[in-house]
Amino acid sequence: MSDSLAQSLTCIECGAAHSLTYRLECERCHGLLELRYDITRLQKDGPALLQGAGLWRYAPVLPIGDPAHRVTLGEGGTPLLDCPRLASELGVRRLLLKFDGPNPTGTVKDRSSATAVGAALQFGYRATSVVSSGNAGSSIAAYSARAGLRSLIFAYERASAPKLLHMAATTTDLVIYKGVYDDLISIWDRLVEERLFFDCGASRNAYKQEGKKTLAYEIAEQTGWRPPDVVVAPVAVGETFIATARGFRELREAGWIARAPLMVAAQATRANAVARAFRDGTAITPLKIGYTVAEGLAAGNPGKKGDWVLRLLREGKGLAGDAEDDEILATQRKLARVEGIWAGPTGVATLAVLARLVAQKLLDPAQTVCAIISETGLKTEAEPPSRTGTAFDHDSLRRLVTERLA
Ligand SMILES: *Cc1c(COP(=O)(O)O)cnc(C)c1O
Ligand SMILES: [Zn+2]
């Protein structure tokens, strides 16, 4: 039984359509592949095709045909929060935050892990692997465990303690690597060809990327199919950005929405290869990068996906920007204080970039803007506030309460 409307893996370079097997690039030209669906059915049946809750509500537009392969930990269906106080601080008319912190492992990665591990089951693999700065590793490990698969997780030596703890708890095999993501990913990506494990990396796997497309579907559905004017998405390798932009394009082709939002790509300044190329109007020059507090954005060489992001930005008249680590940390504190949303530095980079673009008058503030907040703050490693305690009696407690709340 299958209610997936996926029809082909189509090359984004030459347009060749391939059958729905496990393949990572076009045989003709080595271009990246994207999934294509039965748009006529989507047009005809409309949102009535959607059933149930969470990520698998969107199963008709995901590439996992057999319900038995739809591994879940309860991902997706995250809130879209209207944030009027923060909007007025930033000076935008209306601000919506798509907060992906409530996902099972606390990040947007659970969307792509659900379809990646689902595809690993679909194609009969018994092991998965990924190179990660922390979030992808804990998410792939958790979903692999849930599906009864082995996972070989390569984790960044400077990943936060909560992320490492989470990975160690869920994976069958944890390996800590030296250097940043880029140092390992190019050789690991070559090893993928030997098919010793299912590719859960961000570079090429169209099945994995597809799970993140549900961000666009959820934002559209949560706004009554009238999506915001602008959507700000984070970019490391580009999977989240591409999937979201493609989701909105698909929704427009299907006639579920009238207009796709303008897309903004957000990066950390310390890993801003895409934003820099966009600004300079050039091709991407890979960067040698070090540590950024936005750990999940620490990719200096986004490869072919980076080129795809640039193409989508230029075709869709989008924007790109970056923010410094100190701006990102200040934004993290502000979001917690002003709206009660505790997100990690990687997760708030979009908001820091949005603030910059508005301040620089590159973005019209008289619009409805949605920023994707891609992770919880609970995996952030930082010094806790002072733990020096105070003992109270009735009088001193009463004095303190009246003083503090005066
Ligand atoms: C991985 C990650 C991203 C973006 O990465 P892409 O490879 O560009 O999709 C954004 N936010 C968080 C929290 C992440 O873990
Ligand atoms: Zn091709």
The model's pLDDT over 322-338, given as tens digits with 9 standing for 90+, comes to 999 999 999 999 999 99
pLDDT-derived band of residue 1, with 50, 70 and 90 as boundaries? very low
Whether residue 23 lies inside any domain: the answer is: no
pLDDT of 386 over the 90 cut = no
Whether residue 357 lies inside any domain: the answer is: yes
Handedness of CA 29, 276, 243, 182 (dihedral sign): positive
| Distance from the alpha carbon of residue 251 to the mean position of ligand 1, in angstroms | 23
Distance of CA 71 to the CA centre of its chain: 18
Map residue 174 onto helix, strand or coil.
Answer: strand
| Distance from the alpha carbon of residue 18 to the mean position of ligand 1, in angstroms | 28
Which residue's CA lies nearest to atom 7 of ligand 1? 237
Residues with CB under 6 A from ligand 1: 107-109, 135-136, 202, 234-241, 296, 346-347, 374-375
Whether residue 84 lies inside any domain: the answer is: yes
| Distance from the alpha carbon of residue 1 to the mean position of ligand 1, in angstroms | 33
CATH of the domain at 278: 3.40.50.1100
Average pLDDT over residues 146-157: 96
Whether residue 36 lies inside any domain: the answer is: no
Q: Which of 346, 372, 379 to mutate to test the pocket of ligand 1 (most atoms within 8 A of CB)?
A: 346
Which residue's CA lies nearest to atom 3 of ligand 1? 296
pLDDT of 28 over the 70 cut = yes
Residues 320, 177: Cα–Cα separation, whole Å: 30
Asked if 4 and 60 count as a contact pair (C-beta separation under 8 A), the reply is yes
pLDDT of 148 over the 70 cut = yes
Which residue's CA lies nearest to atom 11 of ligand 1? 374
Average pLDDT over residues 146-166: 95
pLDDT of 293 over the 70 cut = yes
Q: Among the atoms of ligand 1, which is closest to the Cα of residue 344? A: 13
pLDDT in tens, 236-252: 999 999 999 999 999 99
What is the reported pLDDT for 2? Answer: 62
Question: Which ligand is nearest to the Cα of residue 239, counting in written order?
Answer: 1
Q: How many domains does the chain have?
A: 1
| Concatenated DSSP letters of 6-70 | EEEEEETTT--EE-SSS--S-TTT---EEEEE-HHHHHHHGGGG--SSSGGGGGGGSS---GGG-
Residues 198, 45: Cα–Cα separation, whole Å: 34
Whether residue 360 lies inside any domain: the answer is: yes
H and E: helices and strands count for the chain = 14, 13
Q: Among the atoms of ligand 1, which is closest to the Cα of residue 112? A: 9
Average pLDDT over residues 173-178: 95
Which residue's CA lies nearest to atom 1 of ligand 1? 296
Question: Which ligand is nearest to the Cα of residue 328, counting in written order?
Answer: 1
Asked if 149 and 113 count as a contact pair (C-beta separation under 8 A), the reply is no
Whether residue 350 lies inside any domain: the answer is: yes
Q: Among the atoms of ligand 1, which is closest to the Cα of residue 100? A: 13
Question: Which ligand is nearest to the Cα of residue 160, counting in written order?
Answer: 1
Residues 212, 76: Cα–Cα separation, whole Å: 9
Q: Among the atoms of ligand 1, which is closest to the Cα of residue 236? A: 8
Structure tokens given for 175:
């390996």
Give residue 279's identity as a one-letter amino acid code: R
> What distance, in Å, lies between the first and last C-alpha atoms of the chain?
65
Whether residue 252 lies inside any domain: the answer is: yes
pLDDT-derived band of residue 227, with 50, 70 and 90 as boundaries? very high
| Distance from the alpha carbon of residue 12 to the mean position of ligand 2, in angstroms | 7
Question: Which ligand is nearest to the Cα of residue 26, counting in written order?
Answer: 2
Domain that holds residue 321: 80-106+209-379
Residues 368, 231: Cα–Cα separation, whole Å: 9
Whether residue 295 lies inside any domain: the answer is: yes
| Distance from the alpha carbon of residue 405 to the mean position of ligand 1, in angstroms | 41
